[in-house]
Structure 1
Amino acid sequence: MLHHVELWVRDLERARERWGWLLGALGWEPYHEWGAGRSWRAGKTYLVIEESPALRPGTGHDRMRPGMNHLAFHAPDRGTVDALATGAAAHGWAVLFPERHPHAGGAEHYAVYLEDADGFEVEVVAT
């Protein structure tokens, strides 16, 4: 069981809006809030976004470099995947592989792949 994931972001408020929308749509609940961060929880697992004062200057996250490529979440059903794809642009996310959506992962895989302007990618899979 995964305990938690912590993502460092350059703009906490922008990330809070984007991740809050996405995680809320997947049934995650707000968990903690402090000056430099926010977290959401699903069961015993939680996700943190933080604008850490220890963040090094640089170009930001690049999912195409060594390191984490994306996070994958369960969706309760295909309707949730479809709603996320439809609402993504209004909440700061772009649908990746739109020409192959919702089967970009294969014919038996029903999912939406999203990327935000900070380069974070998520995959949401209907279970």
Structure 2
Amino acid sequence: MLHHVELYVSNLNDSVRAWEWLLCDQLGYTLYQSWPEGRSYRFGDTYLVFVQTEEDHLTPSYHRKKTGLNHLAFHATSLTQLEDIRQQLTSHGFQELYGDRFPHAGGPDYTALFFEDPDRIKVELVATM
């Protein structure tokens, strides 16, 4: 079982604005820890941590196609939830990916929404019906 994931981000305020909306308002996470350089959000026994990257380590910037983390995938409750979240993405700092193929960008039998956070970390919400 996964215990936690820690992500270093280029702008903590931008990341908190985006991720707190997604995790807490949409997916049922709760704020777990908060300190000047970071936040964590918990769901059950698993939590996600967001930490401000120190200035000396901001370049080169993150890219999901380089070695390292490619994306985070979360369960969604339904296609309706995906559609509701999709309508609100950009107002919360996310950018949709593969919008021309929504909701089946992952294939005809795969219902999901794909998008990127402010650091271009890919996020996937999968509706398992």
Q: Aligned partners of 1:91 and 1:57: how far apart in 2?
A: 23
Give 1:109-120 correspondences, 5 Å limit.
109-120=110-121
The answer to whether the 8 Å contact 1:8/1:55 transfers is no
Indicate the SS of the match to 2:13. Answer: helix
Q: Aligned partners of 2:119 and 2:76: how far apart in 1?
A: 23
How far did 1:92 drift?
Answer: 0.8
The runs of at least 4 consecutive aligned structure 1 residues that moved more than 4 Å come to none
Aligned to 1:4: 4
State yes or no: 1:50 paired with 2:51.
Answer: yes
TM-score (norm 1): 0.94
How far did 1:53 drift?
Answer: 3.7
Deviations 1:53-79 (A, max 9, x none): 486130321001111110000012222
How far did 1:21 drift?
Answer: 0.8
Contiguous gaps of at least 5 residues in structure 1: none
Amino acid at match of 2:125: V
Aligned to 1:95: 96
Q: Aligned partners of 2:11 and 2:55: how far apart in 1?
A: 14
How far did 1:119 drift?
Answer: 1.1
Aligned to 1:84: 85
How far did 1:50 drift?
Answer: 0.4
Give 1:24-39 correspondences, 5 Å limit.
24=24, 25-39=26-40
How far did 1:108 drift?
Answer: 1.2
Contiguous gaps of at least 5 residues in structure 2: none
Aligned to 2:64: 63
CA RMSD of aligned residues (A): 1.4
May I ask how many residue pairs the two structures share in their alignment? 127
Indicate the SS of the match to 1:7. Answer: strand
How far did 1:83 drift?
Answer: 1.2
